[in-house]
């Protein structure tokens, strides 16, 4: 028989609510998952919460298990860690990651879940989707040993990029952010820190993740001649000013987009392998610095507006679920 679950829905832009869902029993090739933790993706998810997804991007912005349509009502999210209660023997009672919204229980195809390695705490595993985005950005950037790298924007995605890049031998990584308190975060993930005015220039690669025109402009100033700025920000429906005058052409600079929905051509690994790699990387305890807040699931309708407005500062805010 189907079971009841509770799910978070965006009822209208800026207003969320918890609704009851019917969860079907799993078929032979499916799993029933009880959620342990989910994570709020502050960039994308708060843009969705505010109703700022451009109409042209509605099809592309759909989450894998989204219900409803933009702008609302919509059930949206994709950072979910749970335990398999029913399903194939090799998955039963195992902790998994799934690109599922905020919901207490759910049934999905067994192929939609990825095992969380034993060395990764379940609450930290909610970062898998973000770290996967960072892996994809570095595949696009293609850093080499000895490169000088700046990451402009010390949010959830930018910090993940810096944390991975800092593990490459001989690479100098500087995390650049307007918030000087992010210096502690940079130290925890093994990177240097600088405010925009004090950042080092002449970089071989700059990854931009601040989602501001000022951050993109500064990224172009920090990159060396004939080098590349990898644009990782997603701006929703906000206009962006890019300074393509002055030195942009004379220095032969490149701005390259990076989006987790596409893997750079030539990579022999696909989406499942990329996600598995992201989960393996999360065994590094340095990523714990990105977990900056936790709240129970029942408080999510009050927490998300505060995250979207910035009154509750956070990188990754983890939502904890009760045993039901």
Percent of the chain scoring above 90 in pLDDT = 82
Looking at residue 14, what is its pLDDT?
95
| Buried-state track 190-212, b at ≥16 Cβ within 10 A, e below 16 | ebbbbebeebeeebbbbbbbbbb
Predicted pLDDT at 239: 85
* Span 159-175, pLDDT tens digits: 999 999 999 999 999 99
Q: With contact defined as beta carbons under 8 Å apart, do 153 and 160 qualify?
A: no
Q: Can you give the pLDDT at residue 234?
A: 80
Measured in residues, the chain has a length of 324
Examine the pLDDT at 47 and tell me if it is beyond 70.
yes
**Tens-place pLDDT, residues 207-266:** 999 999 999 999 999 999 999 999 999 887 788 888 888 789 999 999 999 987 778 776
Higher pLDDT, 276 or 237: 276
Q: What does the pLDDT look like over 91-145, one tens digit per residue?
A: 999 999 999 999 999 999 999 999 999 999 999 999 999 999 999 999 999 999 9
Are 75 and 7 contacting, i.e. CB atoms less than 8 angstroms apart? Answer: yes
CATH 3.90.180.10 fits 3-129+269-320, yes or no: yes
Q: What is the mean pLDDT of residues 52-76?
A: 93
Token pair recorded at residue 238: 């906000």
Helices (H), the chain: 42-49, 128-141, 156-165, 183-188, 213-222, 271-281, 300-309
What is residue 224's predicted lDDT score, i.e. its pLDDT?
97
**Prediction pTM value:** 0.91
pLDDT surpasses 90 at 317: yes
CATH 3.30.830.10 fits 143-257, yes or no: no
Question: How far is Cα 42 from Cα 58, in angstroms, rounded to an integer?
Answer: 18
Banded model confidence at residue 1, pLDDT cuts 50, 70, 90: low
Q: Output the six-digit token pair for 292.
A: 């900056």
Domain boundaries, the chain: 3-129+269-320, 143-257
Find out whether 40 and 47 touch, Cβ atoms under 8 Å.
no
C-alpha atoms less than 13 angstroms from C-alpha of 263 in its C-beta half-sphere: 12
Alpha-carbon distance 260 to 281, whole Å?
Answer: 17
What pLDDT is recorded for position 123? Answer: 98
């Amino acid at each position: 028989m189907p079971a009841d679950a509770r799910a978070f829905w965006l009822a209208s832009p800026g207003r969320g609510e918890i609704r009851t869902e019917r969860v079907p029993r799993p078929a032979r090739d499916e799993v029933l998952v009880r959620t342990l933790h989910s994570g709020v993706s502050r960039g994308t998810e708060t843009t969705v919460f505010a109703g700022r997804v451009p109409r042209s991007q509605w099809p592309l912005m759909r989450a894998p298990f989204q219900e409803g349509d933009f702008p609302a009502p919509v059930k949206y999210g994709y950072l979910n860690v749970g335990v398999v209660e029913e399903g194939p023997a090799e998955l039963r009672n195992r902790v998994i990651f799934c690109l599922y919204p905020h919901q207490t229980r759910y049934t999905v195809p067994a192929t939609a879940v990825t095992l969380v390695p034993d060395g990764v705490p379940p609450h930290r595993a909610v970062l898998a989707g973000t770290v996967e985005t960072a892996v994809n950005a570095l595949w696009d950037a293609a850093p080499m040993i000895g490169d000088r790298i700046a990451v402009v924007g010390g949010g959830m995605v930018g910090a993940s990029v810096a944390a991975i890049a800092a593990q490459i031998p001989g690479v100098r990584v500087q995390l650049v952010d307007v918030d000087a308190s992010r210096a502690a975060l940079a130290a925890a993930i093994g990177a240097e820190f600088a405010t925009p005015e004090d950042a080092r220039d002449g970089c071989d690669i700059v990854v931009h993740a601040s989602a501001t025109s000022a951050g993109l402009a500064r990224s172009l100033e920090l990159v060396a001649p004939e080098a590349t700025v990898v644009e990782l920000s997603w701006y929703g429906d906000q206009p962006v000013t890019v300074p393509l005058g002055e030195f942009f052409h004379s220095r032969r600079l490149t701005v390259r987009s990076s989006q987790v929905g596409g893997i750079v051509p030539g990579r022999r690994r696909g989406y499942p392998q990329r996600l598995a790699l992201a989960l393996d990387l999360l065994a590094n305890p340095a990523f714990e610095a990105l977990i900056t807040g936790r709240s129970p699931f029942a408080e999510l309708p009050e927490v998300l507006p505060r995250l979207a407005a910035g009154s509750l500062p956070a990188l990754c805010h983890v939502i904890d679920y009760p045993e039901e």
